[in-house]
């Protein structure tokens, strides 16, 4: 037997992007359902820092934008962050329950001159707020960094974020182990999700592929020109303190030079505190990258580095999927990617997680153009327990420093 569900829009992908799109379409009156594979919050979201900010990270892009060069990335991030804030304001405690670790975003610099240069050269002209930090966390004792700024950024926990997004609009979610397209005369009329002992056909007047590597095969199955998707890897160092005696919640960027910055976000599951660290460059082979990022770590947090035998260490390679733009068929909106692929199909690849609500608004504009108005009541589907994919770093095998360093550096 096959269950059937008729909607206005089928959103394929249950990560942050897909959930924001589903929420936005449903609030606009479109009957919407989300179809995902292997539980919501997996794929790209599982590997994301879930770090919501206004553009402070991208000072080079800000300078280029102020000069009239390059994309509108920073201004778009500010617009998107306002949408996050509006949503947080609707939640109890301004959404504080979503925080992975309650901490203000922190930026560190090797000198007050460097900090002032970034503030006056990029942040202040864009209205990006920051404040001097007079009481520096003890974690930076002996650090190569001497000047610090606090910014209004937030680090969220992916699972709680996804759950709250879904609960805020009650968009139905169909979770399968595989998903296939339903076609009618070269036109996508829906998707079919298959799971153990279940099969559901979700039919819609439009389909949205919401980011993620998992949509690659669906895009490839379209009869018309489809966007190419490339893989790239990003690396993350995972440092965990089971007792929270050494590490404390901390998120931000710590600049040892104009080009290098150690990017750190926290996760806190009392009594354990965990740091996830990456850097802004494309890493070479893992051992070389590991030596490089550990040298940064030692310079920024010398006291923590000395305590490394008391910590647990690991790293992983996070797969990323990005669209390769082709002017023959793409429609690019702002500095995130929304592609009108073929007929009634839209593909959305936000380039930054912070841009998810802004990308969702652009998807809504495209759906308005395609459909004109809602024709269905909201779908009737009993909400069942939804599989929640864990954040990817949970599966990393953490180990003591000597064992970790020997294994990954040879």
Query: If one looks up domain 102-152+232-319+394-409 in CATH, what number appears?
Result: 3.30.9
Q: Find the mean pLDDT for residues 61-80.
A: 88
Name 167's Cβ contacts closer than 8 Å, sequence gap at least 6: none
Task: From residue 78, give the alpha-carbon distance in Å to each of 84, 254, 377, 410.
Answer: 10, 21, 34, 44
- Euclidean distance between CA atoms 231 and 320, whole angstroms: 6
Question: 6-36, pLDDT tens digit by residue?
Answer: 999 999 999 999 999 999 999 999 999 999 9
- Euclidean distance between CA atoms 35 and 26, whole angstroms: 15
Task: Tell me the residue length of the chain.
Answer: 410
The sheet with strand 261-269 has its strands ordered as 130-132, 147-151, 105-109, 251-255, 261-269, 272-279, 228-241, 312-324, 399-400
Phi first, then psi: give them for residue 185, nearest 5 degrees.
55, 55
Predicted confidence at residue 374, as pLDDT, reads 75
Asked which of 171-185, 194-208, 253-267, 339-353 is least confident by mean pLDDT, the reply is: 339-353
The answer on pLDDT for 281 being more than 90 is: no
Predicted confidence at residue 378, as pLDDT, reads 66
Predicted confidence at residue 143, as pLDDT, reads 97
Domain parsing of the chain, residue ranges: 102-152+232-319+394-409
- Residue 140, both tokens: 């930076």
Sign of CA pseudo-dihedral 72, 76, 77, 79: positive
- Euclidean distance between CA atoms 6 and 369, whole angstroms: 20
Question: 37-63, pLDDT tens digit by residue?
Answer: 888 888 888 888 889 999 999 888 899
Instruction: Report the predicted TM-score, pTM, of the whole model to 2 decimal places.
Output: 0.92
Question: 155-208, pLDDT tens digit by residue?
Answer: 999 999 999 999 888 899 998 888 999 998 888 899 999 987 789 999 999 999
- Euclidean distance between CA atoms 63 and 60, whole angstroms: 5
């Amino acid at each position: 037997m096959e269950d059937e569900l008729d909607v206005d829009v089928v959103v394929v992908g249950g990560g942050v992007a897909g959930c924001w799109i589903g929420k936005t379409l449903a609030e606009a009156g479109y009957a919407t359902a989300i179809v995902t594979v292997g539980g919501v919050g997996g794929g790209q979201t599982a590997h994301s820092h879930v770090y919501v900010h206004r553009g402070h990270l991208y000072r080079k892009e800000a300078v280029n934008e102020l000069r009239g060069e390059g994309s509108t990335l920073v201004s778009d991030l500010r617009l998107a962050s306002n949408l996050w804030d509006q949503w947080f304001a609707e939640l109890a405690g301004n959404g504080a329950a979503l925080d992975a670790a309650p901490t203000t975003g922190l930026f560190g610099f090797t000198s007050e001159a460097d900090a002032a240069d970034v503030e006056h050269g990029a942040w202040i002209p864009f209205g990006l707020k920051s404040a001097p930090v007079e009481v520096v966390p003890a974690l930076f004792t002996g650090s190569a960094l001497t000047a610090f700024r606090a910014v209004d950024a937030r680090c969220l926990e992916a699972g709680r974020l996804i759950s709250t997004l879904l609960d805020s609009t009650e968009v139905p979610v169909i979770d399968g182990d595989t998903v296939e397209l339903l076609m009618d005369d070269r036109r996508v009329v829906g998707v079919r999700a298959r799971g153990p002992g279940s099969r559901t056909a979700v039919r819609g007047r439009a389909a949205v592929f919401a980011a993620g590597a998992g949509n690659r095969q669906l895009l490839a199955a379209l009869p018309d020109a489809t966007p190419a998707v490339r893989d790239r890897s990003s690396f993350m160092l995972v440092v965990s303190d089971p007792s929270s005696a050494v590490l404390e919640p901390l998120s931000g960027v710590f600049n040892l030079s104009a080009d290098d910055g150690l990017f750190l976000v926290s996760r806190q599951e009392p009594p354990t505190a965990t740091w996830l660290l990456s850097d802004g460059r494309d890493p070479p082979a893992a051992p070389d990258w590991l030596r490089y990022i550990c040298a940064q770590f030692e310079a920024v947090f010398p006291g923590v580095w000395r305590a490394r035998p008391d910590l647990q260490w690991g790293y992983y390679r996070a797969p990323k999927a990005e669209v390769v733009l082709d002017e023959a068929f793409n429609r690019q909106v702002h500095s995130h990617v929304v592609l009108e692929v073929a007929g009634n199909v839209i593909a959305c690849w936000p380039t930054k997680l912070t841009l998810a609500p802004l990308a969702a608004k652009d998807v809504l504009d495209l759906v308005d153009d395609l459909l004109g108005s809602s024709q269905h009541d909201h779908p009737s589907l009993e909400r069942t327990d939804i599989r929640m994919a864990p954040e990817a770093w949970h599966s990393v095998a953490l180990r003591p420093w000597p064992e970790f360093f020997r294994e990954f550096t040879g």
